[in-house]
Chains A and B, each alone.
Chain A
Amino acid sequence: MRQTVLPPRVALPAAGFGVAALVVLSLFVGTYDIAGDSFGAEMFFISRVPRTLALVLAGCAMAVSGLIMQLLTQNRFVEPSTTGTSEWAALGLLVTVLLAPAAPLLVRMVVASVAAFVGTMIFIGILRRISLRSSLVVPLIGIMLGAVVSAFTTYLAVSTNSLQMLGTWFMGSFTSIVRGRYEVLWVVAIVVFLVFLYADRITVAGLGRDIATSVGLDHTRVMLIGTGLVAVATGVTTVVVGFLPFLGLVVPNLVSMWRGDNARANLPWVCLGGVAIVIVCDIVGRVIRMPFEVPVSMILGVVGSAVFITLLLRMRARG
Chain B
Amino acid sequence: MSTRLIRPLAAASVAAVLALTGCASGAAAPAEQAAATTVTVEDNHGSIEVPVAPERVVALDNTTFETLSEWGVKLVAAPKPLMYDLWPSLSGGDEVLDAGLHREPNIENILASEPDLIVGGYRFREIYDQLKEIQPATIETSPRDGEEHTSELKRQTAILGQVFDKNDEAAKLNADLDAAIADAKAAYDPSQTVMGLITSGGKISYAAPGEGRGVGHLFPTLGLTPALDRAAEDASHGDDISVEAIAAANPEWLFVLDRDAMFGEDGYVSAQELVENAEALKNVPAVQKGQIVYLDGSFYLDEGIQAYTKLYRSAAEAFAS
Q: Is the CB of A295 within 8 A of B248?
A: no
Chain A contact residues: over half helix, strand or loop, or mixed?
A: loop
Inside 8 A of B243's CB, which chain A residues have their CB?
46-47, 176, 178
Fill in one digit per residue for A43-74: 1 if any B CB lies within 8 Å of its CB, else 0: 10011000000000000000000000000000
Inside 8 A of B279's CB, which chain A residues have their CB?
42, 46, 178-180
Inside 8 A of A289's CB, which chain B residues have their CB?
233, 239
Q: 8 Å CB contacts to A: which residues of B269-283?
A: 278-280, 283
- Whether A160 is near chain B, meaning CB under 8 Å from some CB there, is yes
Cβ 8 A contact of B280, one of A43, A97, A103, A173: A43
Q: Is the CB of A292 within 8 A of B245?
A: yes
Fill in one digit per residue for B201-243: 1 if any A CB lies within 8 Å of its CB, else 0: 1111010000000000000000000001010010001011111
Cβ 8 A contact of A30, one of B81, B244, B266, B267: B244
- Whether A24 is near chain B, meaning CB under 8 Å from some CB there, is no
Q: Is the CB of B247 within 8 A of A43?
A: yes
Q: Is the CB of A173 within 8 A of B247?
A: no
Q: Is the CB of B228 within 8 A of A164?
A: no
Chain A's nearest CB lies how many Å from the CB of B314? 23
Q: Is the CB of A175 within 8 A of B280?
A: no
Which partner residue on chain A sits nearest B269 by CB separation? Answer: A165
Inside 8 A of B249's CB, which chain A residues have their CB?
291
- Whether A258 is near chain B, meaning CB under 8 Å from some CB there, is no
Interface centre among B103, B267, B280 (most CB of A within 10 A): B267
Which partner residue on chain B sits nearest A294 by CB separation? Answer: B240
> In the docked arrangement, what's the CA distance between A101 and B283, Å?
31
Q: Is the CB of B244 within 8 A of A32?
A: yes
Cβ 8 A contact of B263, one of A161, A291, A292, A293: A161
Interface size on A, residues (CB 8 A): 39
Cβ 8 A contact of A175, one of B84, B242, B262, B263: B242
Inside 8 A of B259's CB, which chain A residues have their CB?
164
Inside 8 A of A162's CB, which chain B residues have their CB?
260, 263, 266
Cβ 8 A contact of A291, one of B230, B267, B280: B230
Inside 8 A of A168's CB, which chain B residues have their CB?
200-203
Chain B's nearest CB lies how many Å from the CB of A160? 7
> In the docked arrangement, what's the CA distance between A308 and B27, Å?
59
- Whether A215 is near chain B, meaning CB under 8 Å from some CB there, is no
Fill in one digit per residue for A170-195: 1 if any B CB lies within 8 Å of its CB, else 0: 00010110111000000000000000
Q: Is the CB of A292 within 8 A of B203?
A: no
Which partner residue on chain B sits nearest A38 by CB separation? Answer: B283
Inside 8 A of A102's CB, which chain B residues have their CB?
267
Chain B's nearest CB lies how many Å from the CB of A7? 42
Inside 8 A of B237's CB, which chain A residues have their CB?
164
Inside 8 A of B103's CB, which chain A residues have their CB?
158
- Whether A31 is near chain B, meaning CB under 8 Å from some CB there, is yes
- Whether A33 is near chain B, meaning CB under 8 Å from some CB there, is yes
- Whether A17 is near chain B, meaning CB under 8 Å from some CB there, is no
Which partner residue on chain A sits nearest B242 by CB separation? Answer: A175
- Whether B95 is near chain A, meaning CB under 8 Å from some CB there, is no
Interface centre among B228, B240, B244, B245 (most CB of A within 10 A): B244
A contact set with B: CB distance below 8 Å: 30-33, 39, 42-43, 46-47, 96-98, 101-103, 158, 160-162, 164-169, 173, 175-176, 178-180, 286, 289-295
Q: Apart from A46-B279, A289-B233, what 17 extra A-B contacts exist at CB < 8 Å?
A: A30-B244, A32-B248, A46-B243, A98-B267, A101-B267, A101-B268, A158-B103, A161-B262, A162-B266, A164-B260, A166-B201, A175-B240, A176-B202, A176-B242, A176-B243, A179-B279, A291-B230
